[in-house]
Amino acid sequence: MKRNISIVAYGLETAQLSQLNEAMAYSYTLQLVETITDLLVADALCCIINAEALDAKGVSILQNYYIDAADYSTEQIIWIGETPPCKAFPCYGSFGEMLEELDSILQAAQHRYDIHSEQ
């Protein structure tokens, strides 16, 4: 079952948020979070993280959290920038590269949610 839920973004610029919002299907809403804690507790189908917006502590927190949660987490984590802290995160070198793949990213995120919801 598809859900009408947020795509959560962390560390994106205003212009990037606008581009992302325009490229998304109408069934999704875009939510900007400003802290790592908000990112971790967000009920999202997909979380898009700009690595440049994170400090070493933020990367460490995400790494520690997703090492434990990656196998059963319902959200798809998308990493933009440097090497992700968890191998399970699809990684894109730039926002533009990620945007080109947005449709397939959201399809994969929906599939991940569906699989984990059935368990």
Is 1 inside a domain boundary? no
| 3-class DSSP assignment, residue 91 | strand
Radius of gyration of the chain (CA): 13
Q: Cα dist. 116→1, 73, 77, 89 in Å?
A: 12, 7, 14, 16
- Number of domains within the chain: 1
**Which structural domain range is residue 100 located in?**
6-118
CA distance 31 to 66: 20
Per-residue pLDDT of the chain (119 residues; tens, 9 = 90+): 444 468 999 999 999 999 998 888 777 889 999 999 998 888 888 899 999 999 999 988 988 888 776 566 677 889 999 877 777 788 999 999 999 999 888 888 888 777 766 65
The domain that contains 26 carries what CATH number?
3.40.50.2300
Residues 33 and 53 sit within 8 Å (Cβ to Cβ) = no
Which tokens go with 90?
A: 């699809």
Q: 18: which residues sit within 8 A by CB, 6+ positions away?
A: none
In a domain, 101, yes or no: yes
Any residues with CB less than 8 A from the CB of 119 and at least 6 apart, and which? Answer: 72
